[in-house]
Amino acid sequence: MNKFKMADPADLKDLYLPVMAEITEVRKLTELEMLYTVELPDGMELGHKPGQFVELSIFGVGEAPFSISSSPTHKGVFELGIRKVGMLTDVLAGYEAGSKIGIRGPFGNGIDVEKFKGKDVLIVAGGIGLVPMRSMINYVIDNPNDFGTLHVVYGSRSDKELLFTDELAQWAENPKVNYHVTVDNGSPEWTGKTGVITTLIPGLDLDLPNTVCCICGPPIMYRFALMALKSRGLSDENIYMSLERRMKCGVGKCGHCQINSSYVCQDGPVYNYPEIKSLQEAL
């Protein structure tokens, strides 16, 4: 399975050297999550696929991988949805528009959109797993003639932790999108569905032979989401999974992303389910 190849020494400088980029906008999503709009210098384009990630560095602090949240159709800038959880993100949370950061990438194996074209697309996103899946959702919305119906199934721990609330309302009103949301525990103001995300799957109106699914969320979600999808009759070959929480250095050098013979930074983070169904450590 491992497709990692040692980089040519001539390419190592570009591979490991960050490009200095500028944060052009900072938007608060929740108490912990922020959305950063980033612009590369001199008209450079990131050129990513949905599901890929970049390495963000703050000199003197460190470097960490973050999934790209914007669609490849949005040119000139890209977006990163980042949760404040450690030293680097604590420092980043104090950054404003005009601040400089280092960017390497994009890295990883993203979603092969060609395999999704002409089909209905089902996105199952739990919690912060919506950040990378938003890239694919908006790519499908931006290219409506290339895809069938878009089903978005989103679960959050609470309604106070829902991400991209303005876009969620737009998806709910879009006739090309079947949008479903639930929260584990709703506040007194919450009027939507309550329960784990897998409770939404049995009621979906799916054209199973023509549906391709991608899942991203907390590790505990994967096993139960797979059980729910397979109980509906969705074939293994039509299920893709993002293991974006296992991303590390981006180039397969540190080995922290390794699952048996697979390097998530290289072979993933997006996998076709049959590729990893035998790797119990992955699920």
Percent of the chain at pLDDT above 70?
93
In terms of pTM, does the model score above 0.75?
Answer: yes
Digit-coded pLDDT (tens) for 127-159: 999 999 999 999 999 999 999 999 999 999 999
The pLDDT of residue 8 is 44
What's the pLDDT at 12? 45
9-107 under CATH 1.10.760.10, yes or no: no
Q: What is the pLDDT of residues 191-231, one digit of tens each?
A: 999 999 999 999 999 999 999 999 999 988 999 999 999 99
Mean model confidence pLDDT for the chain: 90
Cβ-defined contacts of 64-68 (< 8 Å, 24+): 64/88, 64/89, 65/107, 65/247, 65/248, 65/249, 65/250, 65/265, 67/131, 67/132, 67/135, 67/242, 67/244, 67/247, 67/269, 68/106, 68/132, 68/135
> Which residues belong to CATH 3.40.50.80 in the chain?
113-282
Compute the distance between CA of residue 17 and CA of residue 131 in angstroms, rounded to an integer.
Answer: 25
pLDDT over 60 (residue 1): no
Please answer whether residues 66 and 79 qualify as being in contact, where contact means their C-beta atoms are separated by less than 8 angstroms.
Answer: no
Mean pLDDT of 260-283: 79
Of the options 3.40.50.80, 3.40.630.10, 3.40.50.300, 3.90.1150.10, the CATH number for the domain spanning 113-282: 3.40.50.80
What pLDDT was estimated at residue 4?
37
168 closest CA partner among 144, 146, 141, 202:
141
Which part of the chain is CATH 2.40.30.10? Answer: 9-107
- Contact 38/21 with Cβ under 8 angstroms? yes
